[in-house]
Structure 1
Amino acid sequence: MTDQTQLPPFPSITAPLRLGEAVPGFTARSTQGQFSLADLRGRWVMLFSHPADFTPVCTSEFVAIARAADRFAALDCALVALSVDSLFSHLAWIRMIHDRFDVRIEFPIIEDPVDGHCPRLWDARTRCARRLRGSGELFRRS
């Protein structure tokens, strides 16, 4: 695994992405090992962020999304989460969710440090707003 301070090569982006634009491929560490957006080519993807692990609102949202995972799967829509929290925090959090709510988080949670992938993909102002309230993006990876 790469250290979170040394990210793998990333496509050159001249301007931040906007809704409706193609999302370039990227790889990152996740709770399910190395995540590559290219592995989801041709599928619908819901990429959603949350501001912090272990918070009551984020936990309840993750429980609800995990319980609805079969409905997303029936639509061939992959679920992918991301947060600035560390991979180790994500792993402890999904263990806590399982222990307290008997719910398994079976979608990857991407570790996205402050200087990680997403600031280079989306406008930094948009990302900061998303950190405060969370967000979801639905797109088809072609």
Structure 2
Amino acid sequence: MSLRIGTIAPNFKIETTNGTIDFHEWAKGSWTFFFSHPADYTPVCTTEMGRTAQLAPEFAKRNVKPLGLSTDTVEEHMGWIKDVNETQNTVLEFPIVADKEKKVSELYDMIHPDEDSNAAIRSVYIIDPDMKIRLTMTYPMTVGRNFSEILRVIDALQTTDKDEVACPADWQPGQSVIIRPSVSDEDAKVKFPQGWETLRPYLRLTDLDK
């Protein structure tokens, strides 16, 4: 199965640190930041889990549920969470999937044999409330994720879902957005009464906050 942008994220039922979850039921009505890590009690993963926990208010205000995963057991996860909380000065409350049999990892193509045949790489899936995959990112085992980018892309996706716009390179919330080429100038006058700046016929910038 090929997991591409726009496809439905596969469902699964599995044990986590917060009990058994049915993924689609658990995620219902929310966005999901689903991410895998290679192993518990490893340095980069510890910082990533800690950063996710620290950003809990930021995820919550965007209606996003974080969900971690590795091929360790629930018992190993629970012990490691104590280390995460202590070393990263946080309280980790989101669930971590215990994928010992690698069923979910393989379902989501998180096992890359040339990197490691037994551990998941650092995969990211941003999944919307309709359970559609909206973004994928893959990091090597030695490089931690950029959480500012993860929040930025969630903001961008939610903005482009709300308004018929696109977000330019390096866009941040509050900055100008692009009116999509599919929107005629006539329709744009109705959708964007604040007006816009035309740099090219195909490049029209507008400020949503005006």
Q: So what's the TM-score if we normalise by structure 1? A: 0.78
Q: Within 5 Å, which residues of 2 pair with 1:24-43?
A: 24-37=10-23, 38-43=25-30
Bigger shift: 20-29 or 69-78? Answer: 20-29
Q: Is the partner of 1:127 in helix, strand or coil?
A: coil
Instruction: Structure 1: state its 5+ residue gaps.
Output: 1-14
Output the amino acid matched with 1:54: Y
Among 41, 57, 60, the alignment partner of 1:73 is 60
Q: Cα distance 1:132–1:87, how it changes in 2: closer, same or farther (>3 A)?
A: closer
Counterpart position of 2:5: 19
Q: Within 5 Å, which residues of 2 pair with 1:1-142?
A: 15-37=1-23, 38-119=25-106, 121-123=107-109, 127-128=111-112, 131=119, 133-142=121-130
Counterpart position of 1:4: none
Deviation at 1:133, TM superposition (A): 4.4
Q: How many residues align?
A: 125
- How big is each residue's C-alpha offset from its partner over 1:69-114, in whole Å with a ceiling of 9 and x where there is no partner? 1101000000000000111110000012223343111100000124
Q: Percent identity over the alignment?
A: 31
Is the Cα contact below 8 Å between 2:105 and 2:120 reproduced in 1?
no
Deviation at 1:32, TM superposition (A): 0.5
Instruction: Structure 2: state its 5+ residue gaps.
Output: 131-210
Is the Cα contact below 8 Å between 2:38 and 2:70 reproduced in 1?
yes
Deviation at 1:42, TM superposition (A): 2.3
Q: Cα distance 1:141–1:113, how it changes in 2: closer, same or farther (>3 A)?
A: farther
Q: So what's the TM-score if we normalise by structure 2? A: 0.54
Deviation at 1:141, TM superposition (A): 3.8
Q: How far apart are the structure 2 equivalents of 1:114 and 1:31?
A: 16
Bigger shift: 130-139 or 102-111? Answer: 130-139
Q: Is the partner of 1:79 in helix, strand or coil?
A: strand
Q: Is the partner of 2:75 in helix, strand or coil?
A: helix
Q: How far apart are the structure 1 equivalents of 2:44 and 2:6?
A: 28
Bigger proportion of residues as helix: 1
Q: Cα distance 1:62–1:76, how it changes in 2: closer, same or farther (>3 A)?
A: same
